[in-house]
Structure 1
Amino acid sequence: MKTFFTALLLLTVQFLFAQEEVYADGIFNFEENKPQKIFTAGARIRQSPEVNAQVLDSLPANQEVFILKKEERVLKLGERTANWYRVSYQKGDRASEGYVWGGNLCTGYRNKNGYDFLLGLAKTITKKDPQFPTETIQQNMAAVKMMEGPAVIDEVSFETGSGESLSYGTFTVESNHKLKNVEFTLKAAVSGEACGIPGYDQYILVTGKKLIALPQLMSVGDADVYYHHEEFIFPNDKGGVTNAFIYKMEEMEKDEKDREKRKKASKTYLWDGTAYRLKQTR
């Protein structure tokens, strides 16, 4: 009987530890033997893959590192969860190695017109739940930095939901969409892998040395029972308007009798070459 209770206790302990296991967000999954860039200014390089390990160095944003190995150890800070990585890098004439937390690395980066554009997760904030004002929720804040070497030329921040929305991410360069004085457009997107988890699209206009973040778009769906989709129609799209972009929303929900209820909405933002404003309707 004593042996039985001992075995039962061990199984219970193993179950509890299994319940507490933490998995890294998909956007922080970086390939080994590939270059990557530091997003967080002053990112610490440690002697071992632990948050309390000795600090060997700190690196500026836009510093290139080389991923040597993804460690199994995972660290969660706020709503950001990432593996530790063993990296090598060149700082001046000195080549060094150490460990960096994946949350301090870029989730995407691009080079255009002589500037580097870095996308990363900056922090987690606590805010009021819009559906339940007496409660709070945690939201990740992402940012795009326009860099010239180690110098930040401009930066914009935006929300990306909770950790559940960080399974996948993309960072792309698009055309200027025929908007006046816009050189090109950046698009950052994140999404989850389960039904009912929202995805977010963030468009950023690049005009000279300035970044202009447009209103954020959100889409979510639950099989064929419900969906909510938001998009922009730019001047170069079918139905587009010169020097304006149109926000469109479509929503569908099925009731208990499987009948579809649909909603649609739209509004127009005017663009004057330097800023946008909502077009007033009479």
Structure 2
Amino acid sequence: MRYTIFILFCGFFCFSQEEEPSSENYFWSYEYYLPQKGIIAAKKCFIRAESSTKSTILDTLKIGDSIKIIDQSKNKLTLNNLNLPWLSVEYYKKGVLKKGFLWKGFVAIGNTSFKNLQFITCLSNKFKKKITDNGYTYDQTNFVFTIKTCDQNFTILSEKTFSHTVGENYTFTNTAIDHWGLKNISCIYRIAFNGEACGIPTEYSYFYWNGEKLEFLIEKYDVGDANAYYHTEEFIFPKEKGGLPDTIIKKIKDAENIDESLETSTFKVEEIIEYYSWNGSKIKLLKKVKKKPYFTKYE
């Protein structure tokens, strides 16, 4: 969990005219549904007359400013290892409608609010790491994200940066929710990288706001493949039905169709229950309970 947030810096800008979109381009869910609303995630960014860093600077926008994304240019800019296109945008300033171009990386991939807090998430970097598995070495792509916690005026209160390996689950969603009975927590910010096809997992990461900063709490994932298998994970927090004080319960279920032909739906189900203690600042695994396997049928 490292690296930095979106900033404007002086450096070498690389352009690309690739027709095939880069993988990081897919985190913004509005790509195929333009025009679309957006919000600036950078502390400060330039609005230009054309889709180029050599173009005239028309204006500046700051974090929290609202924009309307009209179109996505074929011109691209590589910044912080992210190869992303320019966007044609509209926005209002002092009641006047203005137009121009900005780099897509300056726009949040998700934002939500809880009471007086604003959570703005942006894609801030990308790096590759060599992984060796069973004698085979390959480059693993890791994306770096930054969550900016702001007040109602979009003054940044805290920043949390983390890296995550994303496969084909590029669709990003986020929500801010209650503390669910966990002490010393004002609210929980949950993000998800959603798998929208068989065999592609949906991964959830939970962060908590303690009044001063945002910290990582816990994670889970779900995945399944048609009538073949499924894996689900479920949390029970203290405030929920079946919850325990100062405890997070994680129910893990693995099910596999025992009919190799997949013509029927008879699943062998194995369950594990994990109990985590919460002392107000740290989470700790207390114990795992493995239940006896059972069989279930689905019509």
Interval containing the TM-score (normalised by the shorter chain): 0.7 to 0.9
CA contact (8 A) 2:129 2:140 kept: yes
3-state DSSP of counterpart to 1:279 = strand
CA contact (8 A) 2:113 2:176 kept: no
Cα distance between partner residues in 2 of 1:131 and 1:248: 28
Residue 145 of structure 1 corresponds to which residue in structure 2? 148
CA contact (8 A) 1:22 1:74 kept: no
Residue 71 of structure 1 corresponds to which residue in structure 2? 72
Alignment of 1:78-89 (within 5 A): 84-89=86-91
1:217-257 per-position Cα deviation (integer Å, ceiling 9, x unaligned): 22222112122222321112232111111222222234673
C-alpha RMSD over aligned residues: 3.6
Residue 229 of structure 2 corresponds to residue 226 of structure 1: yes
Give TM-score, length-normalised by structure 2: 0.71
Where does the alignment leave 5 or more consecutive residues of structure 1 unmatched? 1-18
1:1-29 per-position Cα deviation (integer Å, ceiling 9, x unaligned): xxxxxxxxxxxxxxxxxx96338526341
* Structure 1 residues 268 and 128: CA distance shift in structure 2, 3 A: farther
Bigger helix fraction: 1
Letter in 2 for 1:21: E
- Counting matched residue pairs gives 261
- The CA deviation at 1:83 is 5.4
* Structure 1 residues 123 and 68: CA distance shift in structure 2, 3 A: closer
Residue 283 of structure 2 corresponds to residue 276 of structure 1: yes
Residue 29 of structure 1 corresponds to which residue in structure 2? 30
- The CA deviation at 1:119 is 1.8
Letter in 2 for 1:170: T
- The CA deviation at 1:216 is 2.1
Cα distance between partner residues in 2 of 1:237 and 1:130: 41
CA contact (8 A) 2:68 2:91 kept: no
3-state DSSP of counterpart to 2:190 = strand
3-state DSSP of counterpart to 2:218 = coil
Residue 256 of structure 2 corresponds to which residue in structure 1? 253
Cα distance between partner residues in 1 of 2:108 and 2:182: 28
Residue 166 of structure 2 corresponds to residue 162 of structure 1: yes
1:103-146 per-position Cα deviation (integer Å, ceiling 9, x unaligned): 33112222334332112222223234474573221122333211
Aligned counterpart in structure 2 of residue 193 of structure 1, from 193, 196, 213 = 196
Letter in 2 for 1:198: P
Give the share of equivalent positions with the same residue, in percent.
26
* Structure 1 residues 233 and 75: CA distance shift in structure 2, 3 A: farther
Which shows bigger deviation, 115-124 or 40-49?
Answer: 40-49
Which shows bigger deviation, 108-117 or 205-214?
Answer: 108-117
Cα distance between partner residues in 2 of 1:191 and 1:33: 23
Residue 243 of structure 2 corresponds to which residue in structure 1? 240
3-state DSSP of counterpart to 2:67 = strand
CA contact (8 A) 1:44 1:55 kept: no
Cα distance between partner residues in 2 of 1:191 and 1:135: 24
Give TM-score, length-normalised by structure 1: 0.75
Residue 54 of structure 1 corresponds to which residue in structure 2? 55
Cα distance between partner residues in 2 of 1:84 and 1:103: 9
CA contact (8 A) 1:87 1:99 kept: yes
* Structure 1 residues 159 and 130: CA distance shift in structure 2, 3 A: farther
CA contact (8 A) 2:249 2:273 kept: yes
* Structure 1 residues 244 and 127: CA distance shift in structure 2, 3 A: farther
Letter in 2 for 1:153: L
3-state DSSP of counterpart to 2:105 = helix
Residue 293 of structure 2 corresponds to which residue in structure 1? none
CA contact (8 A) 1:145 1:153 kept: yes
